[in-house]
Structure 1
Amino acid sequence: MTNFCPQAVLFDMDGTLIDSEPVWQIAEDALITARGQAPREEVRKAIIGMRLTDSLSVFRDSYGFTETVAELRAELIERMCSLIPTHVKPKPGATALIAYFSANGVPCAIASSSPLEIIETAVASQNWRPYMRHLVSGDQVAHGKPAPDIYLEAAQRMGFAPEVCLSIEDSVNGSRSAVAAGTVCYIVPDLSHSTLDQFDGISPHMFSDLHAVQRSLEHCDFG
């Protein structure tokens, strides 16, 4: 339980608002197998929460791809944007939580490692665009998660100090980024790619799902 009442909310997207990690895996596996190789689980887990250019650099080194990162990026974005409308679903409580903040006048933004094209496609697929004041991509900052850049950028665009912003994350890299930026980080861990012990010492605010996050804010008077 926490007494924090945010003035603004900065959402991670993949794994936090939408259940997109399995879809990323489909697209990434297709990219890998198209080149005659088998996906490796340790590589997949290593890139969770990274922005796409960084994760594809890991892919290129790990699998020995000959294409440039830019070429791999364009192919993977195309694969993802074709899958999102039919394969991506909201995480439990996501739509209700976004509506809750909107009804209480708390501005929201997305701070995602994904490219802007994917953020826009995903947000549009869930009809969330009217509720998001800004969409901030990892490609728009100098350093991706776990560096604090994206949350600092999102807070600045929103016009709030990081300390009064609530960030909501599911990954270790993302949570480290949000805390390093000075935001109050609520973690809803995606245990499909992480274990609870990996979050030790990052943030004391851990929740089972987004419904629990909303319940924790019921004491707030946003008026």
Structure 2
Amino acid sequence: MRLQSAIFDMDGTLLDSMFIWNDLGPGLLRRQGIEPEAELSQTLKVMTLRDGAAYCKARYHLPQSVEEVILQIEAQVADFYENQVEAKPGVQKFLSLLKMEGVWMYVATATDRHLAEAALRHAGIDRYFRGILTCTEVGQGKESPEIYERAMRRLRSNKRDTVVFEDALHAIETAKAAGFRVCGVYDDSAKDDQEAIKALADYYLTSFEEMFETTAP
């Protein structure tokens, strides 16, 4: 895999964290005695935190304001990111290898900045990245390639020499359609999409341990 720069998604790619996001919406509703629709987690998966909170309020007629919903969710997520989250197996070794080879790296995430910074810090991998971009800051989710385009410009690179690492099919579709090379990374949250991801991605990893082994001397 030839690259001079790399753009990493965070949740489900670098961090073993998707399970908490998948239960946030349903959990919020059930605590209020509301049974969520079966597909709610899938619907929220492509949304930013704010968009997801607004969707739940409108769809389920929640009494809280969107800001109050966000605060409830953030409190739960913040505790997890600040005290529990871990990097996926092999991630730290792989990032260390890339850094030694002079590869510049950026994080492109749908998670808000203060949460992302806490998560990367607790997982012990924040030092490998030259910066973070969030969908909130960019003003668009990963149905748009803008977050990848902007990260690439900050890395002073180009699409030929940049690889985007993603676990989610919709994000991989976006990056590929924009002309990026993409490495699909397996995560349990997207297990039903793996055949489509394998067919679309330029590279595919079941884990970063595998990537470290294949790149090691």
Query: What's the TM-score bracket when you normalise by the shorter of the two chains?
Result: 0.7 to 0.9
Residue 14 of structure 1 aligns to which amino acid in structure 2?
A: D
Q: How many residues align?
A: 216
Residue 23 of structure 1 aligns to which amino acid in structure 2?
A: I
SS at match of 2:203: coil
Alignment of 1:1-80 (within 5 A): 4-80=1-77
1:216 and 1:55 map into 2 onto residues whose CA distance is 39
Contact 2:166 2:172 in 1 (8 A): yes
Distance apart, 1:30 and its partner CA: 3.8
| Partner residue in 2 for 1:174 | 171
| Partner residue in 2 for 1:199 | 197
| Partner residue in 2 for 1:110 | 107
Q: Which moved more, 1:186-195 or 1:140-149?
A: 186-195
Change (3 A) 1:66 1:121: same
Change (3 A) 1:78 1:208: same
Which structure has more helix as a fraction of its residues? 2
Contact 2:109 2:135 in 1 (8 A): yes
| Partner residue in 2 for 1:126 | 123
1:8 and 1:174 map into 2 onto residues whose CA distance is 18
Residue 153 of structure 2 aligns to which amino acid in structure 1?
A: Q
Residue 154 of structure 2 aligns to which amino acid in structure 1?
A: R
Change (3 A) 1:135 1:37: same
Match of 1:155 among 149, 152, 156: 152
TM-score by length of structure 1 reads 0.85
Any stretches of 5+ residues in structure 1 without a counterpart?
A: none
SS at match of 1:24: helix
| Partner residue in 2 for 1:208 | 206
Change (3 A) 1:82 1:108: same
SS at match of 2:86: coil
Change (3 A) 1:78 1:211: same
Residue 51 of structure 1 aligns to which amino acid in structure 2?
A: T
Change (3 A) 1:52 1:177: farther
TM-score by length of structure 2 reads 0.88
Change (3 A) 1:103 1:205: same
Change (3 A) 1:216 1:186: farther
Contact 1:43 1:62 in 2 (8 A): no
Distance apart, 1:201 and its partner CA: 4.7
Change (3 A) 1:213 1:182: farther
Residue 159 of structure 1 aligns to which amino acid in structure 2?
A: R
Identity %: 23
